Amino acid sequence: MRSRFNGVLPDHVRWLVTQYGVDAVQDVYDLYGIGASKQGETIFWQRDIEGRLRTGKIMAYDSDTGHRRKGEGAIRWVHSELKRTGRLDDKWQLTQCLYGEHILADNPDMMVAVVEAYKTAHVGAIVMPWMVWVAVDSMSGLTAERLRPLKGRDVVLFPDEGKGYQMWSEKIASIAEEVGFSYRVSSFMEGREQGADIADLR
């Protein structure tokens, strides 16, 4: 399996293969259009429901543990890199969308699973493929504007354990009413290590 981005297999994808095998990961790799930098970092492309590319989040992972690398430069954004190199106007403003939002258009009747981290969306899509898995990028990313493409859908939220569960449980009722979708908040991660998510369970 080779990346279509510079012929490099992303570090996060290499870890996924060790956990779930090539075939399952290939499907998710193609579904989300996972990219790679020349250095092998993972690029999580944000495409909206109309297929338009918004940006890409560049993140470095340890391919042995699956954990995100820390430190300066471990997280970058494609639009910021383009601005830095003069290939994008400095006045251009980013409007983020759900990670995996483009998948919704081709699966209008599928239940939608909402998680915080991009990595968690990939794992969820492998182990529970009967749902469309989307990510909001951060605990505070659960907003009406971000979730607007979920109008009319059946939604299950899988917040991270601890603060994420409390915050999302408090926010989601007003968001669901404003946007117009049915929902439930899964307690699947409750009682586990603080900050843990589905991707940490294997």
Condensed to tens digits (0 to 9), the pLDDT of residues 32-82 reads 999 999 899 999 999 999 999 999 999 999 999 999 998 877 899 999 999
pLDDT band of 199, cuts 50, 70, 90: low
Q: Are both 105 and 193 inside the same structural domain?
A: yes
Residue 4 reports pLDDT greater than 50: no
Q: How far is CA 190 from CA 54, 122, 161, 186, in A?
A: 33, 21, 5, 9
Residue 150 reports pLDDT greater than 80: yes
As given in the structure block, the two tokens for residue 156 are 């299950």
Q: Are both 62 and 123 inside the same structural domain?
A: no
Contact 151, 180 (CB under 8 A): yes
Domain hosting residue 163, numbered range = 101-200
What is the dihedral sign for C-alpha 33, 38, 42, 43? negative
Domain containing residue 184: CATH number: 3.40.1360
Mean pLDDT along residues 174-180: 98
Has residue 64 been placed in a domain? yes
DSSP state letter for 163: H
Has residue 133 been placed in a domain? yes
Residue 5 reports pLDDT greater than 80: no
The whole-number pLDDT of residue 109 equals 96
Q: Are both 31 and 117 inside the same structural domain?
A: no
Has residue 2 been placed in a domain? no
Q: How many domains does the chain have?
A: 2
Has residue 92 been placed in a domain? no
pTM of this prediction?
Answer: 0.89
Which range, of 2-6, 66-70, 94-98, 119-123, averages the lowest pLDDT? 2-6
Q: Are both 72 and 129 inside the same structural domain?
A: no
